[in-house]
């Protein structure tokens, strides 16, 4: 046991004016005397000076040059025989207890030196407890460490909450709102298919989606989740709690706070916590909106929040790699599960064609961030997270394939019986073509998902679409599926054309719809995937329908203009010829006017096709009419009633023909004499 400290030397009483100065000197001298008397080594002296200065900053001026540095020949035990000096612990214990008497005060809101002194006292207490000296044996060190850890838990909680950086809700909301307006909701395929309701919009999915995926401005933006000036303090607390054996308490506090804050961030992003039942009961408009927010939310969560969370763990929990990885997984687990649960709920929703594009968005978003997540999650806990993510990705892919199969069934089973009155483009044609144009935007993804189904699609395409083997072998997996779906549409339209009693109107309906399909293919990526072979065959069908129309509509009319060998003569022969020619003119006029009344109401949607049909009709009718009038007009044009038979000039007929296929009543005069 060390000898008691020698008495302080007596000093003369100072004059009144020098009391303050001499008093300060006396305090310093007394403190230095205590340090010199009690400290048994230079290290112990440094500890005591640090602790004493916590009570009075003036004591920090005491020097520790009272002890010579150990010579190289001295062993550590010879130079520092008692590293667990009780005097240093006494001072540390006293400081820890002093702060414990003021629980409402916070060390890290006090002056910076106070925090440093408290941490130094904690270091002394932890070291003494670990060394197992007298202070540890008596239980004093354990009590001091326990009190210090309880305070550091509170300090950690307060610092993390106070210095957490909130997500910019207003800026993020505006970003998501803008992207929402640019999204593919403007396309026909964003609403449920109703074959009785025309879809007026002819949106371009290629352009729409390129705008949609042009980028969320919050993607790749790394947030400081905690203000940088608090990171050092958090790390200092974490290091001491870990060294003291309070790692589990550290994990509990740290993860609990970060977990709650991440949950708030998800709310800001609009990623809600929904059960499978809630997702399945949601109306499509609401579900569609939630799926959009999920897509943007996943990217923001991974690239901004989780990346920032990993960086924060690395900074604050640098004391232990194992602790760092554990806290990251535990902090983000609920956030990840909330994302996965929604993805799973969507994957098992009842199949419906309109969901395909949005599920594809979800699939691509998740597939895009999984490689980035693999760089964030390490070890066995991280492997479990990646396994779960890849499981949801697979189920979303299955949902895409399932919904495409459902789409094919809808095309095959759709059997609306109400024909388009004017033979124009059917709503199902518009819907399907916009739907397929949207699918090809995801061609790379769909080629991967449908790769295993390509053989079955080839067989079905060969059977249903009557395509040749060489052409089918040249198609991608998506190309096979498109040919198959297109064949379902064409078969459906063929059945709908039979609803028209007039064969000529069947041809108009077929031309309108086939040309629309060809134009949609040509003006999009569908053309690249299906190729020129497919397009040429459909143009051939249009030409065949045009010929059929001319034959059905105009063969009878033209038959009245045929030359039956009648010629001028005398007597009964002339009378009979004149009577038969008059009958031909009457029949021609009647048939032509009947066609005019009906076919002016028919609609050929494409202006070029409409003009080509009119030209074809004129080339067949006008020359025949002009020749017939020129040859036999004299047989009926010799009385007051001649206008009854020759009602039109060739120019009149041309004017009449120009009114056809406009979808409205004609405006030409019916009987205009030459």
- Does position 1 have pLDDT exceeding 60, yes or no? no
The confidence band for 54, taking pLDDT boundaries of 50, 70 and 90, is low
Least confident piece of the model among 42-56, 436-450, 555-569: 42-56
Residue 7: the pLDDT is: 43
Q: Give the torsion through C-alpha atoms of 297, 298, 299, 300, to 10 deg.
A: 50
Residues 6+ apart with CB under 8 A from 331: 254, 255, 258, 259, 262, 309, 313
Closest to 68 (Cα-Cα) out of 48, 50, 41, 46: 41
Neighbours of 194 (CB within 10 A): 12
Residue 219: the pLDDT is: 42
More confident position, 461 or 332: 332
- Does position 381 have pLDDT exceeding 80, yes or no? no
Q: Give the torsion through C-alpha atoms of 211, 215, 217, 218, to 10 deg.
A: 140
pLDDT tens figures, 568-608: 444 445 455 888 998 999 999 999 999 999 999 999 999 99
Task: Output 489-492 pairs: Cβ under 8 A, ≥24 positions apart.
Answer: 489/411, 489/428, 489/429, 489/432, 489/517, 490/465, 490/514, 490/517, 491/412, 491/464, 492/411, 492/412, 492/414, 492/428
More confident position, 553 or 61: 553
Least confident piece of the model among 357-361, 452-456, 629-633: 452-456
- Separation of alpha carbons 651 and 674, rounded Å: 9
Residue 4: the pLDDT is: 41
The confidence band for 667, taking pLDDT boundaries of 50, 70 and 90, is low
Q: Which residue carries 């130079």 as its tokens?
A: 79
- Residue 633 β-bridge partners: none
Average pLDDT score over the chain: 80
- Separation of alpha carbons 621 and 562, rounded Å: 11
pLDDT tens figures, 141-157: 899 999 999 999 999 99
Least confident piece of the model among 182-196, 298-312, 414-428, 520-534: 182-196
Residue range 31-56: average pLDDT? 58
Neighbours of 599 (CB within 10 A): 26
pLDDT tens figures, 409-454: 999 998 888 888 999 999 999 999 999 999 999 999 999 999 977 5
Q: What percent of the chain has pLDDT over 90?
A: 54
Residue range 644-656: average pLDDT? 91
- Does position 318 have pLDDT exceeding 50, yes or no? yes
pLDDT tens figures, 196-217: 443 334 554 444 444 444 444 3
Residue 673: the pLDDT is: 40
- Is the CB of residue 317 less than 8 Å from the CB of residue 238? yes
The confidence band for 70, taking pLDDT boundaries of 50, 70 and 90, is very low
- Does position 329 have pLDDT exceeding 50, yes or no? yes
- Burial of 18 (C-beta count, 10 Å sphere; 0-12/13-18/19+): exposed
The confidence band for 660, taking pLDDT boundaries of 50, 70 and 90, is very high
Residues 6+ apart with CB under 8 A from 672: 647, 648, 649, 652
Residue 183: the pLDDT is: 42
- Does position 235 have pLDDT exceeding 70, yes or no? yes
Residue 417: the pLDDT is: 82
pLDDT tens figures, 464-510: 556 778 889 999 999 999 999 999 999 999 999 999 999 999 999 99
pLDDT tens figures, 159-206: 999 999 887 755 554 544 444 444 434 444 444 455 444 333 455 444
Q: Which residue carries 């001491």 as its tokens?
A: 240
Strand, helix or coil for residue 71: coil
- Separation of alpha carbons 416 and 194, rounded Å: 10
Q: Which residue carries 């949106």 as its tokens?
A: 203
Residue 21: the pLDDT is: 38
Residue 538: the pLDDT is: 95
């Amino acid at each position: 046991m060390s000898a008691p400290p020698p008495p302080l030397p007596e000093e003369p009483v100072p004059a009144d004016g020098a009391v303050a100065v001499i008093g300060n000197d006396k305090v310093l001298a007394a403190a230095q005397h205590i340090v010199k008397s009690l400290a048994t080594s230079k290290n112990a002296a440094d500890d005591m000076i640090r602790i004493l200065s916590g009570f009075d900053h003036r004591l920090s001026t005491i020097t520790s040059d009272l002890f010579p540095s150990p010579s190289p020949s001295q062993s550590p035990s010879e130079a520092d025989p008692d590293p667990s000096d009780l005097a240093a612990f006494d001072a540390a214990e006293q400081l820890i207890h002093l702060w414990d008497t003021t629980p409402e005060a916070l060390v890290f809101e006090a002056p910076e030196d106070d925090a440093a002194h408290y941490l130094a006292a904690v270091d002394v207490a932890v070291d003494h407890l670990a060394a197992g000296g007298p202070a540890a044996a008596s239980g004093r060190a354990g009590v001091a460490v326990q009190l210090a850890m309880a305070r550091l838990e509170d300090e950690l909680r307060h610092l993390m909450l106070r210095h957490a950086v909130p997500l910019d809700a207003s800026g993020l909301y505006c970003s998501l709102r803008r992207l929402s307006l640019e999204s593919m909701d403007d396309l026909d395929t964003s609403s449920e298919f109703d074959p009785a309701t025309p879809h007026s919009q002819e949106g371009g999915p290629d352009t729409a989606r390129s705008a949609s995926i042009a980028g969320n401005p919050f993607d790749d933006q790394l947030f400081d989740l905690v203000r940088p000036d608090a990171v050092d303090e958090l790390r200092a607390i974490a290091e001491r709690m870990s060294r003291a054996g309070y790692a589990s308490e550290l994990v509990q506090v740290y993860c609990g706070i970060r977990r709650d804050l991440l949950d708030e961030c998800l709310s800001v992003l609009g990623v809600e916590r929904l059960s499978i039942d809630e997702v399945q009961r949601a109306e499509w408009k609401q579900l569609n909106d939630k799926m959009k927010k999920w897509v943007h939310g996943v990217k923001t969560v991974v690239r901004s929040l989780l990346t920032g969370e990993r960086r924060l763990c690395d900074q604050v929990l640098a004391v232990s790699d194992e602790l760092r990885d554990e806290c990251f997984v535990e902090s983000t687990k609920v956030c990840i599960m909330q994302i996965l649960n929604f993805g799973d709920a969507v994957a098992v929703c009842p199949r419906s064609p309109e969901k395909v594009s949005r599920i594809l968005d979800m699939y691509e978003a998740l597939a895009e961030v999984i490689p980035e997540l693999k760089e964030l999650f390490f070890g066995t806990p991280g492997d479990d997270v990646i396994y779960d993510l890849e499981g949801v990705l697979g189920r979303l892919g299955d949902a895409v394939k399932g919904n495409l199969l459902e789409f094919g069934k809808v095309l095959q089973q759709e059997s609306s019986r109400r024909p388009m009155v004017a033979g124009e483009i059917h709503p199902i044609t518009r819907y399907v073509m916009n739907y397929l144009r949207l699918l090809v935007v995801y061609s790379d993804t769909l080629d991967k998902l449908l790769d295993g189904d390509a053989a079955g699609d080839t067989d079905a395409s060969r059977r249903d679409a009557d395509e040749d083997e060489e052409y089918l072998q040249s198609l991608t997996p998506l190309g096979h599926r498109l040919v198959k779906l297109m064949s379902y549409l064409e078969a459906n339209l063929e059945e709908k054309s039979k609803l028209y009693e007039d064969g000529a109107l069947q041809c108009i309906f077929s031309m309108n719809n086939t040309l629309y399909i060809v134009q949609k293919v040509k003006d999009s990526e569908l053309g690249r995937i299906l190729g020129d072979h497919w397009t040429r065959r459909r143009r051939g069908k249009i030409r065949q329908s045009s010929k059929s129309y001319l034959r059905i509509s105009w063969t009878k009319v033209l038959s009245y203009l045929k030359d039956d060998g009648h010629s001028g003569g005398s007597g009964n022969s002339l009378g009979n010829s004149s009577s038969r020619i008059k009958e031909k003119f009457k029949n021609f006029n009647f048939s032509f006017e009947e066609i005019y009344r009906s076919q002016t109401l028919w609609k050929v949607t494409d202006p070029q096709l409409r003009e080509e049909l009119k030209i074809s009709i004129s080339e067949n009718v006008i020359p025949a009419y002009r020749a017939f009038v020129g040859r036999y007009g004299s047989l009926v044009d010799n009385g007051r009633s001649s206008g009854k038979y020759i009602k039109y000039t060739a120019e009149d007929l041309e004017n009449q023909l120009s009114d056809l296929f406009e979808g409205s009543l004609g405006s030409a005069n019916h009987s205009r004499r030459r």
